[in-house]
Amino acid sequence: MENKTVPVWFITGCSTGFGRELAKLILARGWKAVITARQIDQVNDLAEGYANSALVLPLDVTRKE
C-alpha cells in the first residue's frame, strides 16, 4: 500500500535555476517528484539514487502537444 502522507511534486524546468534547486530539496526530504525538462539528459543526474521517488519525464510547456 502506498504511503498517502508523502507528497508528490510535479516540477517543471528542472534543468536549471529554481526548478533544479526545488527538485533537489524535495528529493532530499524524502518526498516523491516528477522531474521535467525539455531535454531529460540535463536532469537525469537529479534522479540518481532516488529510483523509488523520482520520475524523469520530457516536457516542453511551450508546445501544446
For 5-59, what is each residue's pLDDT tens digit? 778 999 999 999 999 999 999 999 999 999 999 999 999 999 999 999 999 999 9
Q: How many domains does the chain have?
A: 1
Range of the domain at 21: 12-58
22 in any annotated domain: yes
pLDDT band per the 50, 70, 90 thresholds, residue 1: very low
7 in any annotated domain: no
5 in any annotated domain: no
48 in any annotated domain: yes
33 in any annotated domain: yes
Cβ pair 31, 53 in contact under 8 A:
yes
- Quote the pTM value: 0.85
64 in any annotated domain: no
> What are the angstrom distances between the C-alpha of 28 and each of 21, 25, 50?
11, 5, 9
54 in any annotated domain: yes
